[in-house]
């Protein structure tokens, strides 16, 4: 509260200073590299995330080549992969596992956590709540640079002679402990752990910042019940991250001890590399508990920001308030809470006590209820809207479609009796790639298309956006939908080839088809990249509020400078979803327009509020608007 006051005072008192700041020539390094400006940090996260997405996606293409065309000659990749291409020209089976592992790690953490939360929490929180910057610009800068450091370490691990970590992105011990078990568990795994520790530090620095900014720096009038759903989503995401990521540090630390200092937290009665090890009494299941205590909330860390972004975009482009604003917040809170008590559904067949399995089955299926509420609310928001199909809107609709398709298959996997036969098959792969991978990725894309004008002051090319959307949307379904079938047929995931099994001798064609679809979908992303980077420099100049949106970020100048608003921070008089309000002339009323200036469109309870409304000078300016 006090911070807000001080900030407000400063901003009104030091009007001249702000103005001065805008024109202050910053050095290249403090403007683009060690920047403490939330907008620049957001762009840094975004571009790093995009580069990681290319690497993570590229790795998946390499293993999809092997799966779609078993034993394919990959000699042409030898210049990059070297010894990992065997003499016959085929992919090394161990490197296949490394590819799978790195694809998962990169996509989950570097692209969909850092790239999504890092970008949009940073960019939108101050802009949408009306703050000059994050609570701590310095911590925010550290957050990015810890992420960068973590990225570098992970990137370097790709080039080790023994390869990067290869025990699956979940790095279960004992496989991740012994280099005798798999080469990647040597130096590659060490770097994986070091990298993750820095990554978690980055996430925590960011999270603390997001939470304190949202609580303390909201502009006057921006009560929690007037916050855009994006901010609610980022806020809840940050809380989840803050509570769950430290547990991953604990898990990783114990793993470090087991790997390097001879402890037995996760190890017991193991005979490997020709000798029986002295470790007794540990439990590999302990690691799984600790890992999934983060790992499951992580799913929502990845998904909630995407859902928040989608709420905003669907509402704006349907020209309609989001349906059930409070229900949306309530369901996000419910999801956040429940996400902490469902983790063991990843462990139904791990040797977990079956009674615990029953408990987690109940809790898991409960989480489907708030998710269903969200899906229905999105659909109802479209109902009787006046829908504008911008690329961002299409990606949002795509997200809802994936969220439903992938969410429904969760009902099979969350049911422990059915999970017995589906566990670790391609059914799981299909499930989470749709509901978490593709849905979040579409949220990221929707966000980029929607807020690009605010980020770079220019518009992205719309038609390229449409082509990108259609290729990606159709492509994603063609890649992941067929996987349900081979999952039901029991095909295990993380298999280099299925040729050794009579049971899995079928579906060769289907796998080829999936691989081709994956390559095309991946290729389509380069169209996006071209559009993105080209538009930064050559895109059409953006108007101030290109989507006729109500939220605060569109009240800033086209290219907001340091401090976001040149004058006083705008004040907020209404919720963010006054679209197509009956009586109003325009089909949107920005949050900065006082209720007292719109008597023609006020609802009865707003009319009451309007009577006692105190409008500041800044508000009066908007009144005339």
Partner 1 sequence: MFNLVIIVAVVLIIAIIYTIFRVSTLISIAKGDSKERVPASNKSQATLLVLFLVGGIVGFFYYSFGGLDDSFVQPLASKHGVETDFWFWVTMGVTCFVFIITQILLFGFSYKYQFDKDRKASFYPHNNKLELIWTAVPAVVLAFLVLTGWKIWTDITGPAPEEAYEIEVFGYQYGWSFRYPGNDGKLGKYNYLKIDGTNQLGIELADKAAHDDFISNQLHIPKGKPVLLKIRARDVIHSVYMPHFRAQMNAVPGLPTKFWFEPTKSTADMRTETGNPEFNYELVCNKICGRSHFGMKATIVVDEEDDFKQWYKDQEAWLKLNPEYLSQVPEDLQEVAIISAGLENIENTQNVRTQTTSF
Binding to partner 1 (CB under 8 A) within 357-376 occurs at 357-358, 361-362, 365-366, 368-369, 372-373, 375-376
> Min. distance of Cβ 461 from partner 1 in angstroms?
7
Nearest to 624 by CA among 587, 606, 597: 597
Pick one of 38, 132, 574, 581: the residue that binds partner 1 (CB under 8 A). 581
Residue 425 sits at φ, ψ, to 5 deg, of -100, 180
Instruction: Please report whether residue 103 would count as binding partner 1 according to CB under 8 A.
Output: no
Residue 32 sits at φ, ψ, to 5 deg, of -105, -25
Nearest to 589 by CA among 608, 599, 610, 574: 574
C-alpha count within 13 angstroms, C-beta hemisphere, residue 81:
22
> Min. distance of Cβ 171 from partner 1 in angstroms?
10
Task: Rank residues 154 and 542 by Cβ distance to partner 1 and give the closer one.
Answer: 542
Instruction: Please report whether residue 12 would count as binding partner 1 according to CB under 8 A.
Output: no
Instruction: With contacts defined by CB under 8 A, name the span among 149-157, 267-275, 290-298, 429-437 that binds partner 1.
Output: 267-275
> Min. distance of Cβ 604 from partner 1 in angstroms?
14
Pick one of 284, 297, 437, 443: the residue that binds partner 1 (CB under 8 A). 284
Instruction: Please report whether residue 411 would count as binding partner 1 according to CB under 8 A.
Output: yes
Provide DSSP, 326-344. Answer: HHHHHHHHHHHHHTTS-GG
**537-567 CB burial, b ≥16 within 10 A, e <16:** eebeebeebbbbbbbbbbbbebebbbbbbee
Pick one of 25, 27, 87, 582: the residue that binds partner 1 (CB under 8 A). 582
Task: Rank residues 8 and 65 by Cβ distance to partner 1 and give the closer one.
Answer: 65
How many residues make contact with partner 1 (CB under 8 A)?
Answer: 122
Structure tokens at 109: 């953490």
Binding to partner 1 (CB under 8 A) within 333-352 occurs at 349-351
**CB neighbour list of residue 203: distance below 8 Å, 6 or more residues apart:** 113, 114, 117, 143, 241, 245
Residues in contact with partner 1, shown as a per-residue x/- string from 23 to 62 under the rule CB under 8 A: ----------------------------------------
Pick one of 500, 604, 612, 625: the residue that binds partner 1 (CB under 8 A). 500
Pick one of 5, 24, 73, 93: the residue that binds partner 1 (CB under 8 A). 93
Biggest CA-to-CA distance, the chain: 83
**CB neighbour list of residue 79: distance below 8 Å, 6 or more residues apart:** none
Binding to partner 1 (CB under 8 A) within 510-569 occurs at 510, 540, 548
CB–CB of 67/511 below 8 Å? Answer: yes
> Min. distance of Cβ 339 from partner 1 in angstroms?
17
CB–CB of 385/319 below 8 Å? Answer: yes
Q: Determine the length of the chain.
A: 625
Task: Rank residues 253 and 497 by Cβ distance to partner 1 and give the closer one.
Answer: 497
> Min. distance of Cβ 467 from partner 1 in angstroms?
10
Instruction: With contacts defined by CB under 8 A, name the span among 2-10, 263-271, 555-563, 565-573 that binds partner 1.
Output: 263-271
Binding to partner 1 (CB under 8 A) within 457-476 occurs at 459, 461-464, 466, 470, 473-474
Task: Rank residues 13 and 369 by Cβ distance to partner 1 and give the closer one.
Answer: 369
Instruction: Please report whether residue 507 would count as binding partner 1 according to CB under 8 A.
Output: yes
Task: Rank residues 118 and 482 by Cβ distance to partner 1 and give the closer one.
Answer: 482
Instruction: With contacts defined by CB under 8 A, name the span among 30-38, 46-54, 82-90, 275-283 that binds partner 1.
Output: 275-283
Nearest to 597 by CA among 581, 611, 579: 611
Instruction: Please report whether residue 405 would count as binding partner 1 according to CB under 8 A.
Output: yes
Binding to partner 1 (CB under 8 A) within 421-440 occurs at 421, 423-425
Pick one of 29, 276, 611, 612: the residue that binds partner 1 (CB under 8 A). 276
Q: The dihedral of CA 232, 233, 238, 240: what is its sign?
A: positive
Structure tokens at 531: 């559009």
Instruction: Please report whether residue 609 would count as binding partner 1 according to CB under 8 A.
Output: no
Instruction: Please report whether residue 107 would count as binding partner 1 according to CB under 8 A.
Output: no
Instruction: Please report whether residue 496 would count as binding partner 1 according to CB under 8 A.
Output: yes
d(CA 297, CA 308): 16
Q: The dihedral of CA 382, 383, 385, 388: what is its sign?
A: positive
Binding to partner 1 (CB under 8 A) within 285-344 occurs at 285, 318-327
Q: Counting Cβ atoms within 10 Å, is residue 450 exposed (0-12), middle (13-18) or buried (19+)?
A: buried
Reduce the secondary structure of 575-589 to three states and give it as a string. CCCCECCCCCCCCEC
């Amino acid at each position: 509260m006090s911070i807000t006051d001080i900030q407000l005072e400063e901003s009104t008192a030091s009007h001249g200073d702000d103005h001065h700041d805008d024109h202050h020539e910053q050095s290249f390094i403090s403007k683009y590299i060690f920047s403490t400006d939330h907008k620049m940090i957001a762009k840094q996260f975004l571009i790093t995330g995009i580069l990681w997405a290319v690497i993570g996606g590229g790795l998946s293409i390499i293993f999809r080549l092997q799966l779609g065309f078993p034993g394919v000659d990959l000699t042409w990749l030898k210049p990059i992969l070297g010894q990992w291409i065997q003499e016959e020209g085929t992919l090394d089976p161990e490197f296949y596992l490394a590819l799978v592992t790195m694809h998962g790690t990169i996509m989950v953490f570097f692209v969909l956590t850092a790239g999504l939360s890092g970008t949009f929490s940073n960019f939108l929180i101050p802009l949408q709540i009306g703050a000059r910057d994050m609570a701590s610009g310095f911590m925010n800068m550290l957050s990015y640079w810890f992420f960068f450091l973590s990225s570098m370490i992970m990137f370097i691990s790709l080039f080790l002679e023994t390869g990067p970590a290869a025990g699956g992105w979940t790095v279960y011990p004992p496989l991740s402990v012994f280099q005798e078990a798999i080469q990647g568990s040597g130096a590659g795994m060490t770097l994986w752990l070091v990298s993750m520790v820095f990554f978690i530090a980055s996430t925590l620095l960011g999270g603390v910042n997001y939470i304190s900014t949202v609580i303390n720096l909201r502009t006057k009038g921006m009560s929690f019940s007037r916050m855009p759903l994006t901010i609610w989503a980022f806020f809840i995401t940050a809380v989840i991250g803050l509570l769950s990521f430290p547990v991953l540090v604990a898990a990783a630390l114990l793993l470090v001890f087991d790997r390097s200092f001879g402890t037995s937290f996760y190890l017991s009665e193991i005979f490997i590399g020709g000798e029986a090890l002295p470790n007794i009494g540990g439990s590999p299941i302990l690691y799984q508990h600790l890992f999934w205590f983060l790992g499951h909330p992580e799913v929502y860390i990845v998904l909630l920001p995407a859902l928040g972004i989608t709420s905003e975009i669907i509402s704006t482009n349907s020209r309609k308030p989001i349906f059930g604003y409070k229900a949306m917040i309530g369901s996000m809170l419910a999801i956040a809470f429940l996400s902490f008590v469902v983790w063991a559904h990843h462990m139904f067949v791990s040797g977990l006590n079956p009674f615990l399995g029953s408990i987690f089955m109940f809790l898991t299926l409960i989480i489907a209820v708030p998710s269903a509420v969200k899906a229905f609310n999105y659909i109802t928001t479209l109902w009787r809207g006046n829908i504008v199909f911008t690329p961002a809107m299409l990606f949002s609709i795509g997200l809802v479609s994936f969220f439903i398709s992938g969410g429904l298959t969760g009902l099979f996997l969350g049911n422990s009796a059915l999970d017995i036969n589906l566990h670790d098959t391609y059914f799981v792969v299909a499930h989470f790639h749709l509901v978490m991978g593709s849905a979040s990725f579409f949220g990221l894309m929707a966000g980029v298309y929607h807020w690009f004008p605010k980020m770079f002051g220019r518009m992205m090319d719309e038609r390229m956006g449409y082509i990108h959307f259609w290729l990606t949307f159709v492509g994603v379904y063609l890649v992941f939908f067929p996987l349900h079938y081979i999952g039901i047929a029991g095909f295990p995931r993380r298999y280099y080839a299925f040729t050794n099994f009579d049971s899995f001798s079928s579906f060769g064609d289907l796998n080829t088809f999936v691989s081709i679809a994956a390559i095309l979908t991946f290729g389509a992303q380069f169209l996006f990249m071209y559009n993105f980077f080209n538009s930064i420099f050559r895109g059409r100049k953006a108007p101030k509020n290109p989507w006729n949106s109500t939220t605060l970020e569109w009240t800033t100048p086209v290219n907001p400078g340091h401090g976001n608003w040149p004058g006083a921070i705008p004040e907020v008089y209404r919720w963010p979803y006054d679209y197509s309000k009956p009586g109003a002339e325009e089909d949107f009323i920005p949050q900065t327009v006082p209720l007292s200036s719109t008597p023609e469109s006020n609802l009865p309870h707003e009319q009451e509020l309007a009577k006692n409304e105190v409008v500041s000078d800044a508000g009066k300016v908007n009144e005339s608007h």
